[in-house]
Structure 1
Amino acid sequence: MIRNSSAEVESGVKLVRETENVLGTIQEYVQTINLHMEAITTSARKQSTGLAEVNAAVNQMDQVTQQNAAMVEETSAAGSTLADESTRLRELISQFTLSGSARSPDQSEHRYAA
């Protein structure tokens, strides 16, 4: 009976050691998984920051594009107004008498600036 008990205790000690080894291996795997999870978290944060910066840049480009479109519209309107005022000014100038004779708009020399 003592031999039997001794053998069983020995077997139990062996099982405890094996369990300890397996639990140590599991602990190492869990630590490795934790390291991987931390790396994934860090990478995800960096990507999130990068995407936020890209989004901000796209929004800024959109605002600049809208401003440019508004400036083009204003420039076009100013060009049209300038053309109208130039025509009116030419008509007014043609009414002046130079050297004793009046010139009509058709007879005067027209020079346009580019």
Structure 2
Amino acid sequence: MKRSQQRLGELGGLIDRNGEVVKEGSTLVESVGLAMQDIVDNIGRVSALMDEVSHASEEQTLAIDQVSVALGQMDEVTQQNAALVEQIATASASLKDQARDLATSVRFFKVGKGASLSPDASQPPLVSAPRALDHTPAEQPEAGSPHRLDAPKRKPKSAGDEDNWESF
């Protein structure tokens, strides 16, 4: 019996120890349950943050597309402006040439009493003086006098000339 009592005491100690181990296991299971719940909650928060990042990324993509369109429009307007600048530069050069030619042409005419613009001897005239309408040669100016265009000689009118409007 002593042996049985000894064994019974050992069994009681094992049962007590087993009870303590079960309590510790139960406590660990509770803490693992709480940790798992925290993990699930954190996964939910991470998922919400990922959704926000995805939405922000889509908005950024749309904004970048809008910027790209705006840059394309700005490039097009810049190219149009460059073309206009080229046209203006060409027109300006043409007007400058025309003004120079006109100034050269005007030098041949007497412009007022005693005032005249004589041609610049260093530049040949770009336009010759016009001829009279009746196609007779213009009178040549005397040497040393300012160039002067004489009025065209007119034919005397006859009674039938008014009906023939094609002749001048």
- Structure-2-length-normalised TM-score: 0.50
Aligned-partner residue type, residue 37 of structure 2: K
Give the whole-Å Cα distance in 2 for the aligned partners of 1:30 and 1:21: 14
The equivalent of 1:19 in structure 2 is 42
Give the whole-Å Cα distance in 2 for the aligned partners of 1:109 and 1:78: 22
Matched, 1:43 2:43: no
Matched, 1:72 2:95: yes
Deviates more, 1:45-54 or 1:76-85: 76-85
Greater relative CO (CA pairs within 8 A, separation 6+) = 2
Aligned-pair CA distance for 1:78: 3.2
Matched, 1:8 2:65: no
- The root-mean-square deviation of aligned C-alpha atoms, in Å, is 2.7
Greater C-alpha radius of gyration: 2
Aligned-pair CA distance for 1:52: 1.0
Q: Deviation per CA, 1:10-58, whole angstroms, max 9, x where unpaired? A: 1012111101101101110110121122112112211211111121111
Aligned-pair CA distance for 1:6: 2.1
- Runs of 4+ aligned residues of structure 1 deviating over 6 Å after TM superposition are none
The equivalent of 2:85 in structure 1 is 62
Identity over aligned residues, as a percent? 7
